[in-house]
Chains A and B, each alone.
Chain A
């Protein structure tokens, strides 16, 4: 939450006199109501009145980002940069995951947590790895997320990590009552954490369980905070809003691979620009047979599963 900054009465108010004290009283009263509504009593007027990201002017956005950086610095005692790189032209991101190679080691899960400033307590993880039986194939009802053997892969099992599929027809975007989530030009489905009202309709709508909610105040140790953030991506989130994988928007819009792609020890994760005929992702679509998770729901994900062997 933000620093305490009660609503100031309008400037130019006389110091003494009934008029001034009445205005001060009103201002304090409004601030009290606003504080009461937010519970923890830390809500600045600017944050309260901030509009949807897509409606902000360049100047407004600059002011907001400056305010956010100031708040993060005060909270974590380190310089946190909040970027807002736009989508690169001529880019639509695609992701492919090799089911024959994933061994379920979960290094992607934790690399993501570190890179994207997810709350450690209460725990939030954007990637869930499903362990399934080879005999059953991809069958959600027989999946197990809490596997914890000594070694992976376990005999007779295969592994399928699931995260936001960045759908071309995202059901979450369709249902959000306030338009706090939308699909960017490069295909990434983003959330404006300062606009989300926390109604969780999008979580009911997502077929992949990819959206996660900050049920409580998120906690990250200052030492673990990744200071390279994006407004729509991995900047530390407040309580009561929804978050999810953004294909590491803070990295990919600068040409880097997402953290999960970089950390995977077996090279199961592939990422690239679907509009570039020479990219790995296009090679995979050309040479390997891919499938889409829950394809019958017609969400048209930009995330493909394939069998590399």
Chain B
């Protein structure tokens, strides 16, 4: 029965599930809480002294925090890599695990919000950006668009996940007429969050490195090939540690789709490089700084070069590993490929996007930015917060998905489930 009282018990039972577990579970939670505390402590230092204790300055005014934000928006968008085959192509093996992609999206969005909060100079004025209460400069500002679409997408995913789990909990089949449109809506919404984030950079004529028409497609391509990498590893872990049924077929299909997006991503990167390096205008300087280093007034600046090539090479190797069926279906090479593509895109979104966009700056100055200890600690805290959110969600969701934990038979003994796992 779907009513308020059951929902209340659903909440309390969910919290109960999240707060009880094995010794390993407690150790993991404890570890995450420790990192979160460290991050919070570093953040109070930042609040007290201002952003001056980061290494961002006027010349490079966005850095590690915004780089992570951009990357995580891509991860959030990646859930549609599961939704499309599951619901558009009605592919059963993936359907039961789409909810995991949506939970990953929620986690990523929570972390995105975290990174924005720690980056702004006046967190006490956060309410200024809320529509009606504050003053949101919509439609002019792309950041205003981002606020809207990210929160809507978060709301959407949160609602779908909660509804699906709640339905499983009260042993009622979820209403397809409610869920299907929302899930299908999440496809253009996922595209929109990363497109808006790309446009945020794209619309700035002051930054020629970002002001290229190909930026939004590149964002999407790299998001779709990196986000699912987390999912692939996660699915293998869940298969071993819980009773979730995830077929090899499902995993290999996701990997195959990723291979195509990786290829497209590499093509777009090549297209961008060609345009800059062949035309050879002054705007080439940003690409030059990134890939080859530049010399100014007798000083050589090549901090980003090893990272740029690492990103390209790992991306290319991952592409081959995913493309060739033999390596795609080998668990070792598949997982190596996941790690490689994740690293490749992570480097590309941080060091390969933000920094070269701002270096040299608008007056030709080169300031070499490296994240400070504060920034790294705070970022670690936020990633740990995300991991905590995701862990807790899984801890509660998996038993419910398997039908092991319901309102009537809570704490069921470990017998094979009677109800089917969540399926359309």
Contacts and interface: CB of A to CB of B under 8 A. Distances in A.
Contacts of B282: 141
Interface in B127-165: 128-129, 134-137, 140-144, 147
Interface stretch (A80-88, A207-215, A249-257): A207-215
A195 B44 contact: no
A157 interface: no
Interface in A238-297: 239-242, 297
B353 to A, nearest CB: 12
Nearest to B57: A215
A200 B116 CA distance: 11
Contacts of A9: none
Contacts of A175: 140-143, 203-204
Given A128-B363, A141-B285, A177-B144, A122 B358 contact: no
A174 B144 CA distance: 11
A197 B140 contact: no
Nearest to A216: B52
Contacts, number: 165
Contact of B206 (A141, A197, A207, A241): A207
Contact of B121 (A207, A209, A239): A239
B420 interface: no
B343 to A, nearest CB: 26
B294 to A, nearest CB: 9
B205 A197 contact: no
Contacts of B129: 177-178, 197
A39 B59 CA distance: 25
For this complex, into which size category does the number of interface residues on chain B fall? 35 or more
Contact of A39 (B47, B126, B136, B365): B47
A34 B128 CA distance: 14
A140 B364 contact: yes
B49 interface: yes
A93 to B, nearest CB: 22
A128 B134 CA distance: 34
B106 to A, nearest CB: 23
A5 to B, nearest CB: 14
**Candidate in A55, A178, A242 with the most chain B CB atoms within 10 angstroms:** A178
A196 interface: yes
A298 to B, nearest CB: 8
Contacts of B46: 39
Contacts of B57: 215
A197 B121 contact: yes
Contacts of A34: 124
Given A141-B364, A171-B205, A209-B363, A197 B120 contact: yes
A205 interface: yes
Interface size class of A (residues with CB under 8 A): 35 or more
Contacts of B360: 140-141
Chain B CB within 10 Å — which of A52, A205, A299 has the most? Answer: A205
B361 A209 contact: yes
A176 B204 CA distance: 12
User: Majority SS of interface residues in chain A?
Assistant: loop
A210 to B, nearest CB: 9
B205 A213 contact: no
A218 to B, nearest CB: 9
Nearest to B49: A216
A144 B363 CA distance: 9
Most buried by A among B46, B50, B200, B357: B50
B206 A142 contact: no
A179 interface: yes
A177 B141 CA distance: 5
A37 B124 contact: yes
**Would you call the interface of chain B mostly helix, strand, loop, or mixed?**
loop
B309 interface: no
A200 B120 CA distance: 8
A299 B144 CA distance: 21
Interface string A203-233: 1111111011111110000000000000000
Contacts of A206: 206, 362
A65 interface: no
A257 B58 CA distance: 28
B56 interface: yes
Contact of B119 (A144, A179, A199): A199
A176 B121 contact: no
A142 B364 contact: yes
Contacts of A48: 124
Interface string B254-296: 0000000000000000000000000000100100000000001
Given A141-B282, A178-B135, A215-B56, A205 B206 contact: yes
A215 B206 contact: no
A196 B122 contact: yes
A190 interface: no
A130 interface: yes
Given A175-B204, A178-B135, A197-B120, A215 B125 contact: no
Contacts of B51: 198, 213, 215-216, 240
A37 B141 contact: no
Contacts of A162: 363
A201 interface: yes
A143 interface: yes
B9 interface: no
B297 interface: yes
A213 B58 CA distance: 6
Contact of B50 (A174, A239, A242): A239
Contacts of A297: 205-206
A38 interface: yes
Interface of B: 44, 46-52, 54, 56-59, 61-62, 116, 119-126, 128-129, 134-137, 140-144, 147, 200, 203-207, 282, 285, 296-297, 357-358, 360-365
Interface of A: 34, 36-40, 43, 48, 51-52, 55, 122, 128, 130, 140-145, 162, 171, 174-180, 195-201, 203-209, 211-217, 239-242, 297-299
Given A145-B363, A196-B121, A209-B58, 19 more contacts: A37-B124, A171-B206, A177-B141, A178-B128, A199-B120, A201-B141, A203-B58, A203-B61, A204-B61, A204-B358, A205-B204, A207-B205, A208-B362, A211-B58, A213-B61, A215-B50, A215-B57, A216-B50, A216-B51
8 contacts: A143-B363, A144-B297, A177-B141, A199-B119, A201-B143, A208-B363, A212-B58, A240-B50
